[in-house]
Amino acid sequence: MANRRDVLKASTVPLLFVGARAVAQIPVRDAASQEESCGQPLLEWPRGIEGQRKADMGDGRFLNPILAGDYPDPSVLKDGDDYYMTHSSFDAAPGLLIWHSRDLVNWGPLEPALDKPLGTGFAVDIAKHDGRYFIYIPFMRAPWSKGLADFANIFVIHAPSMRGPWSKPVDLKIGGLIDPGHVLGEDGHRYLFFNGGKRVRLTADGLATAGPIEDAYTAWKYPDDWIAEAYSPEGPKLFRRGDYFYLVNAVGGTAGPPTGHMIVAARSKTIHGPWESCPHNPIQRTRSASERWWSRGHATCVEGPGGNWFMVYHGFENGYQTLGRQTLLEPIEWTADGWFRAVGGDLSKPLRKPGGQAVPNGLPHSSIFNKADMGRLWSLYASAPDDAESVRFEPGALILAGKGRSAADGTVLTQQVGDRSFEITVELALRGESEGGLLLFFNNRLFLGMGIDGKRMTSYRGGKASYWPEPAPPSRHIHMRIVNDRQIVTFYYSLDDKEWTRHGVRSQVTGYNANTIDDLLSLRPALFASGAGEVSFRRFVYRAL
C-alpha cells in the first residue's frame, strides 16, 4: 500500500455566503451560551494559558485530550520518572517537537528534534539503547525533496539526551515501508518492525541494517462487514513485559468512517514469533458515530508513574475534525492470562490521573516573534530545507520573504491550536511588492482568510481567492483578526487597532478536514507572504473563547 490515505475520495462541502459589513465589537461567548456538542452535554475543560483547554482537572482527574490539537501518531518513551513524546510533523520545518511529562497528563514542550526535514515525516518511534536516544523517521518524498531513493524512506536521528543535540538524519536505506517500531529482542539484537508485517534487524549501534527485510507477522483482521476505511495494518509499537513481547498495531485506516481506525494486539515469547493475536481484539475502537472520539488508533503502551499501564493514541473529536487527530490517554488493565484490555470507558468523562509530578503544561500561542519560537510554536509549511532563509527576525517582528503569487503558493507559517473557539489577531506591514495576510490554513488547497497588497483586500475561501470584493481601504499597514466560534469563522480588520470592521462574509468550516481534502492535517492559524517583497508581522495574539 503506497500511502495510508490512497483509499480516500475527496468530497466538497458547500459554504454559505453572507454579505453584511459593519463596524462591530468582537463577540465573546459566556458560559450560559454553551450548548450540547454532537448530542453530548459539553463538559467544560479546565482553562490554562490564554484560556486554552487543558486535561488536568486539578482534583486528581483528567479529561481527554491530553494534547489538544493536531498531535497524531504519538510515540512515547518512559525514561525513569520522565516521559517523552513526539508526533508526526509531516512537512513542518522545524519538526518533531519533543514533549516532556512526569504524569502522562501534563506535557511541556522542549525543542524540535528535526531542524530540516528531508521529506514528509510521520509516524516515528522513539527508542533508548545503551544510554543513547534514537528517533526512527519515515520520510515520504515531497515535491522539494532531494536524494530520496524511494517514495518512502526510513532514516534515524540520535542524541545523547532527549533535549539534544540531535544528529543529522542517517539513511538506513530502507525503501517502500513506513511506521518503524523499534525493539530489542531476547537475542540481544535490535529490530525495526514496519507496516504490512515487515521487519529488519539493525546493527548494534542502530544506524544501519544488518540483514534483509523479511516477513514477520500478520496483523489481526476485523470482520469484513465492519465499516472501516481500509485494512491498512500500520503503526507497530513493541514492548516486552514478563514472558512476552507485545506488538500493538493500528488497522482499519486512519480517517474515513469514524468506526474504522482501531487498536489491535498480538504477543509472542520470542521476537521471532509466531505472533498470537489477542482473543479480545480490537483493544479499542469507536463503535458509534455518537461517541466523542472517532477513528481511535496508533497506540503506544506505557507503564505509568504508579505502576498502572496506559495507552497513548490519537483520535478525531466528534464535530471538530478540523482540529486534526488529538492525543488521548486511556488506562489499560492486565488480565490473568497475560493480555491487556482498555478500561477507560466513555472518554468524554474524566478519568483518574496516573499519579506522578505535574510539569508546567502547554505553551502560549501569542507571540512577539523570536527565533526560539520556531519549531515550538511556529513552523514553515511544506518548505524545502533552504526555505528557512525566508524567515528572519527583527526586534519584536517576524519578516516573511514572499514567494509565489498568492496564499496558495506563498510562504506560509503555521502553528497548532486545540480549542473549539478562539480568536487570533496580528499587525502586518508590506515591504516592496508583496501580499500578506492572516489565514486559517489546512493545506495549500484548502484555507480561508484575508490578504492585502496595498491596493485591495483579497478574501480567501475554499483554498482560493473568493469572488467577494471586500471594500477595505487600500493600505500597506493593517491589523487583522479572525474569530473561530465553534467553526463559524468571522474576519475583522482595522487601520488603528481601535475601530474594527467586520468583513462582509462569514464562513462555516466544518468541512475543512482530512476527509474533505485527503490530507492528514488540521485547520490552524497561519501568516503568509507572497510576491517579490516581504511582509512584517508584529504582536500575534491568541485567545481561547
Q: Is residue 296 part of a domain?
A: yes
Average pLDDT over residues 124-140: 97
Whether residue 183 sits in one domain with residue 73: yes
Question: Within this chain, do residues 299 and 428 fall inside the same structural domain, yes or no?
Answer: no
Burial 143-182 (b: 16+ CB within 10 A, else e): eebeebeeebbbbbbbbeebebebeebbbbebebbbbbbb
* Pairwise CA distance, residues 86 & 133, whole Å: 13
What is the predicted pLDDT for the residue at 231? 95
Same domain, 56 and 162: yes
Asked if pLDDT for residue 424 goes beyond 80, the answer is yes
In a domain, 30, yes or no: no
Residues 378, 342 share a domain = no
% helix / strand / coil in the chain, to the nearest 5? 5, 45, 50
Q: Is the predicted pLDDT of residue 186 greater than 90, yes or no?
A: yes
Q: Per the domain annotation, does 524 fall within a domain?
A: yes
Query: What integer pLDDT is reported at residue 383 of this predicted model?
Result: 79
Distance CA 328, CA 304 (A): 14
Q: Is the domain of 59 the same as that of 117? A: yes
pLDDT in tens, 451-469: 999 999 999 999 999 999 9
Q: Are residues 182 and 64 in the same domain?
A: yes
Residue that has been written with the C-alpha cell 494534547 in this structure: 67
Tell whether 408 and 347 lie within a shared domain.
Answer: no
Residue 278 lies in a domain: yes
DSSP designation for 385: G
Average pLDDT over residues 20-26: 35
Is 123 contained in some domain? Answer: yes
Residue 27 has pLDDT above 90, yes or no: no
Q: Which among 91, 115, 234, 330 is annotated as catalytic?
A: 234
Interatomic CA distance for residues 363 and 48, integer angstroms? 9
The predicted-structure confidence for 357-395, as pLDDT tens digits, reads as follows: 999 999 999 999 988 889 999 999 987 877 878 999 999
Global pTM reads 0.91
Residue finishing a domain among 306, 321, 352:
352
Q: What pLDDT digit, counting tens, does each position of 289-303 carry? A: 999 999 999 999 999
Same domain, 480 and 536: yes
Q: Count of domains in the chain?
A: 2
The per-residue pLDDT for 371 is 86
What pLDDT is attached to residue 402?
A: 96
For residue 177, give the nearest of 200, 157, 207 by alpha carbon: 200
Q: Is 234 a catalytic residue?
A: yes
Residue 43 has a pLDDT of: 66
What are the backbone angles phi and psi of residue 390, rounded to the nearest 5°? -80, -5
DSSP E strand boundaries for 87-187: 95-101, 108-114, 120-121, 125-129, 132-140, 152-159, 170-175, 181-184
Last residue of a domain, one of 320, 352, 384: 352
Question: What pLDDT score does 26 carry?
Answer: 37
CA distances from 223 to 33, 220, 230, 261, 315 (A): 43, 10, 12, 13, 22
346 and 397 belong to one structural domain: no
Distances (CA, A) of 47 to 11, 52, 55, 71, 109: 35, 5, 9, 19, 18
Could you list the residue range(s) of the whole structural domain that residue 490 is in?
Answer: 371-544
Q: What CATH number does residue 313 fall under? A: 2.115.10.20
Domain for residue 95, yes or no?
yes
Q: What is the mean pLDDT of residues 214-223?
A: 96
Contact 235, 194 (CB under 8 A): no
73: annotated active-site residue: yes
Give domain status of residue 303, yes or no: yes
- pLDDT at residue 15 is higher than 70: no
Residue at which a domain ends, from 352, 387, 402: 352
Instruction: List pLDDT tens digits, range 29-80.
Output: 333 333 444 454 556 899 999 999 999 999 999 999 999 999 999 999 999 9
- Give the distance from CA 377 to its chain's centroid: 13
Q: What is the pLDDT of residue 3?
A: 37
Residues 157, 86, single domain; the answer is yes
Region of poorest pLDDT, from 39-43, 181-185, 519-523: 39-43
Report if residue 8 sits inside a domain: no
Domain CATH code at residue 429: 2.60.120.200
Q: Mind giving me the DSSP string for 200-264? A: EEE-TTSSSB-S--EE--------TTS--S----EEEEEEEETTEEEEEEEES-SSSSTTT-EEE
Q: Which of 70, 73, 103, 179 is catalytic?
A: 73
The percent of residues in the chain predicted with pLDDT above 70, rounded, is: 92
| 118 phi/psi in degrees, rounded to 5 | -90, -10
Say whether pLDDT at 334 is over 90. Answer: yes
Query: Beta-strand (E) ranges in 306-402?
Result: 309-317, 325-334, 340-342, 351-352, 379-380, 391-394, 397-401
Query: What's the pLDDT score for residue 21?
Result: 33
Query: What are the beta bridge partners of residue 40?
Result: 37
Residues 91 and 180 in one domain: yes
